[in-house]
Amino acid sequence: MTSKTASLILSALLVSGTSAFTLSPACAAGAAPVSAPTVTGLPDFTDVIDKVGPAVVNIRTTERVSTRGGAPGEEEMQEFLRRFFGGQMPPRGGRRGPPQAEEEREVQRGVGSGFIISGDGYVLTNAHVVEGADEVTVTLTDRREFKAKVLGADRRSDVALLKLTATNLPYLRTGDSSKIRVGEWVLAIGSPFGLENTVTAGIISAKSRDTGEYLPLIQSDVAVNPGNSGGPLINMRGEVIGINSQIATLSGAYNGISFAVPIDEVTRVSEQLKATGKVTRGRIGVQISEVTRDVAESLGLGKARGAEVSMVEAGGPAEKGGIKVGDIILAFNRQPVETTRDLPRLVGAAKVGSRASVTVWRRGAQVEVPVTIVELQDEKSTPGKPAAKKPAQGATANALGLTLSAIPQADRRQLGVEGGVLVESATGAAASAGIEPGDALLQWNNTPLTSVEQFAGLLAKHDKAKPVALLVQRDGATQYLTIKPRP
């Protein structure tokens, strides 16, 4: 399998001793020599494991399912026949008897890991470990077993909080995941493939790895397999810095890259789960997209940063506060928004009902917009506004490959725009940039568009060696597309 055909899969690890090696330093020609490391031997993990091991638990989950009475395996055979042959297995003896009564039985769903965070029995694990479970059994290293109550689970962060009826339990201390360093040694303890209290070691490979909407995950090369889910990622001080949650794999098992939810985020989530059984996040009612380098340069931003507002929810907090399509959100409550992934995390962590200050780049200047945070509900589709209708006349061709016309006032109301021009056809550079007939062009770089004549004047004055960023609205969504004029 080549790298082009292989697909990289991020897997949740539900049923879920590296060999050390050294590399001799080598200096490239002209490069400064690397100073020798102060560590003279491999680290000894034994004291850390002795201290933290008793607080790591094995988690088994079961589910109650209803089946009809009959011979062992008969239900599975009936399902096989139904799915593949459309038939049904006749009763034994060749005669059809009366319908069998349904029976309820427990089936094991999976095996995972977790760890105790307080002596009175609070346990952390992954949400996907306990999802759909009717019964959760927690086993300690001393073989004691407890039936756990699921206080709450948050699928977005993949964190669940359990409670055991017990006292004086061993527990782990939490560290500070914001202070972790790439290259530091870390340990994972869990139940890979059901093998309880298995220890693996490695280093932190990267921080703030963007693999989730609300989570910058910790990447490590610690061996993590199905069954490790929910187990702790531990530093050399014996502190938990994350919950092992995912792997990047080509085979379904460990391929050298694993991910953990940072403990700082876990703590915030678990506190809400403990208090209310759910996690409340904020929202402001916008859809966003990436800001490209060409767009940033055309708008005078300098470098690609921020989140472009491509749609504003009608009647939502952003619209009420004054955020507009085409704005580039640069900061939220004075915290920089470098990429589109930063904004959902910052807004999600904001207190519902609070008033936030949003810094946007609009028409060449920064503007502060006040927005009131509302609660994020279950995801639902936001209907877009209809595209403008194509006028029959008034079209004007230009050097970008665009044939444009004015947008009738009635269509402007339908689109929810004050100005703009309509694309009747797009060829050449415009078509290559992704512009299509029916698109509404709302802005040229930082200048709002009002007419076809204005567009022609801007094009005539534009430096043909530089790209132009056009704010394009299509089916209710808006984004910047860049076009480089033909000489």
Alpha carbons within 13 angstroms on the beta-carbon side of residue 453 total 0
398 is an annotated ligand-binding site residue: no
Tell me, yes or no, whether 325 lies in a domain. Answer: yes
Ramachandran bin of 41, using left for φ above 0, alpha for ψ from -120 to 50, beta for the remaining angles: beta
205 pLDDT band, cuts 50/70/90, is very high
Give residue-wise pLDDT tens across range 261-307: 999 999 999 999 999 999 999 999 998 988 989 899 889 988 899 99
Residue 261: per-residue pLDDT: 94
What's the CA gap between 319 and 283, in Å, rounded?
Answer: 12
Q: Highest mean pLDDT: which of 14-18, 412-416, 471-475? A: 471-475
Residue 210: per-residue pLDDT: 75
Under DSSP, the state recorded for 7 is -
11 pLDDT band, cuts 50/70/90, is low
Taking all residues of the chain, what is their mean pLDDT, rounded to a whole number?
A: 80
Known catalytic residue at 128: yes
- Are residues 232 and 304 both part of a single domain? no
Q: Does residue 64 surpass a pLDDT of 70?
A: yes
Q: How far is CA 234 from CA 126, 242, 414, in A?
A: 16, 7, 56
Tell me, yes or no, whether 91 lies in a domain. Answer: no
For the chain, the farthest-separated pair of C-alpha atoms sits apart, in whole angstroms, at: 91
Residue 448: per-residue pLDDT: 87
Tell me, yes or no, whether 107 lies in a domain. Answer: no
Give residue-wise pLDDT tens across range 439-477: 888 888 888 888 888 888 888 888 878 888 888 888 778
Q: Does residue 312 surpass a pLDDT of 50?
A: yes
246 pLDDT band, cuts 50/70/90, is confident
Q: How far is CA 392 from CA 291, 412, 422, 454, in A?
A: 35, 16, 12, 20
In a 10 Å sphere around its CB, with 0-12 CB exposed, 13-18 middle and 19+ buried, how is residue 110 labelled? Answer: buried
Give residue-wise pLDDT tens across range 340-360: 888 988 998 899 999 999 999
- Are residues 350 and 445 both part of a single domain? no
Tell me, yes or no, whether 134 lies in a domain. Answer: no
Q: Does residue 67 surpass a pLDDT of 80?
A: no
Tell me, yes or no, whether 143 lies in a domain. Answer: no
Q: Does residue 30 surpass a pLDDT of 70?
A: no
Residue 379: per-residue pLDDT: 47
Tell me, yes or no, whether 118 lies in a domain. Answer: no
Can you list the alpha helix ranges (DSSP code H) found in 44-143? Answer: 46-52, 74-84, 127-130
Residue 3: per-residue pLDDT: 42
Beta bridge partners of 115: 56, 124
Tell me, yes or no, whether 46 lies in a domain. Answer: no
Residue 6: per-residue pLDDT: 40
User: What CATH number corresponds to the domain at position 242?
Assistant: 2.40.10.10
- Are residues 258 and 299 both part of a single domain? no
Q: What percent of the chain has pLDDT over 90?
A: 42
- Are residues 436 and 370 both part of a single domain? no
128 is an annotated ligand-binding site residue: yes
- Are residues 303 and 250 both part of a single domain? no
93 is an annotated ligand-binding site residue: no
Which one is catalytic: 128, 157, 310, 405? Answer: 128
Q: Does residue 157 surpass a pLDDT of 80?
A: yes
Q: Does residue 87 surpass a pLDDT of 70?
A: no
Averaged pLDDT for residues 404-411? 80
Query: Range with the lowest mean pLDDT among 81-95, 113-127, 401-415?
Result: 81-95
Q: Which of 319, 345, 375 lies at the terminal end of a domain, its last residue? A: 375
Tokens of 393: 């006349």
- Are residues 260 and 201 both part of a single domain? yes
- Are residues 347 and 431 both part of a single domain? no
Q: Which helix (H) or strand (E) holds 481?
A: strand 477-483
Which one is catalytic: 158, 327, 342, 439? Answer: 158
Q: Which of 276, 297, 330 lies at the terminal end of a domain, its last residue? A: 276
User: What CATH number corresponds to the domain at position 473?
Assistant: 2.30.42.10
Beta bridge partners of 332: 335, 358
Q: How far is CA 348 from CA 207, 216, 234, 305, in A?
A: 20, 13, 27, 20
Q: How far is CA 24 from CA 27, 184, 205, 246, in A?
A: 10, 19, 19, 32
Can you list the alpha helix ranges (DSSP code H) found in 243-388? Answer: 263-276, 293-299, 317-321, 342-349
Q: Does residue 147 surpass a pLDDT of 60?
A: yes
227 is an annotated ligand-binding site residue: yes
Q: Which of 375, 408, 443 lies at the terminal end of a domain, its last residue? A: 375
Which one is catalytic: 16, 229, 258, 270? Answer: 229
Residue 347: per-residue pLDDT: 93
In a 10 Å sphere around its CB, with 0-12 CB exposed, 13-18 middle and 19+ buried, how is residue 74 labelled? Answer: middle
What does 319-333 look like in DSSP terms, one character per residue?
Answer: HHHT--TT-EEEEET
Residue 75: per-residue pLDDT: 53
Question: Please, are residues 137 and 59 in contact by the beta-carbon 8 Å criterion?
Answer: yes
- Are residues 177 and 272 both part of a single domain? yes
- Are residues 228 and 306 both part of a single domain? no
Per-residue buried b or exposed e for 224-245, using 16+ beta carbons within 10 Å of the residue's own CB: bbbbbbbbbbbbeebbbbbbbb
Residue 241: per-residue pLDDT: 96
Q: Does residue 84 surpass a pLDDT of 60?
A: no
In a 10 Å sphere around its CB, with 0-12 CB exposed, 13-18 middle and 19+ buried, how is residue 220 labelled? Answer: buried
Structural domains of the chain, count: 3
Q: Does residue 120 surpass a pLDDT of 90?
A: yes
Structural domain boundaries enclosing 422: 396-483
What's the CA gap between 474 and 53, in Å, rounded?
Answer: 56
Task: Name, in order, each residue with C-beta under 8 angstroms of 19's C-beta and a sequence gap of 6 or more.
Answer: none
What does 22-34 look like in DSSP terms, one character per residue?
Answer: -------TTPPPP
Tell me, yes or no, whether 136 lies in a domain. Answer: no
462 is an annotated ligand-binding site residue: no
Residue 381: per-residue pLDDT: 37
